[in-house]
Amino acid sequence: MLAHDIDVCQYYGVMRKKIAEIEDCCPVLREPLDPEEASRLADAMRVLADPARLRLLSLIAAGPGGEACVCTLVDPMSLSQPTVSHHLSVLHEAGLLDRERRGRWVYYRVRPERLEPIREALAPPPPVPLSA
């Protein structure tokens, strides 16, 4: 394995860990985030803040049976297969996609529950109590 690959794997390892770690963390408008929480949440949001990755999530969710194969994703994305595969790997390593090999192709499925911690982190503040 080349040094580059090791770097990439370590990067993905960190990313996956950080996405998993924002569960029950980081309610932005409900308590002051400490620097470490803010960093974790920003890392998780950075996985999503990319037009190609958002489109891939969307195309997979809209696929027959809620799944899609890289073989059907390259054409609508207008990107090379290696680039599409790279974005799918980022999403998978971040925990946002399940994948399963069938024959020569890998099929992907969105894990919608993994978006919930991000939605929760952006939830509105608690209502202000009425003064007596």
Residues in contact with a second copy by CB under 8 A are 26, 28-33, 35, 38-39, 41-42, 45-46, 48-52, 54-55, 57-59, 61-62, 66, 76, 78, 110, 112-113, 115-116, 118-119, 122-125, 128
> Hey, what are 72's tokens?
């059907």
User: Are the C-beta atoms of 108 and 74 separated by less than 8 Å?
Assistant: no
C-alpha 99: how far from its chain's center?
14
Find the shortest distance in angstroms from Cβ 5 to a second copy: 26
- Write the single-letter amino acid at 60: I
Find the shortest distance in angstroms from Cβ 85 to a second copy: 18
> Hey, what are 56's tokens?
């891939």
Find the shortest distance in angstroms from Cβ 53 to a second copy: 8
Cβ distance to a second copy smaller for residue 28 or 106? 28
User: Tokens 């390259």 sit at which residue?
Assistant: 74
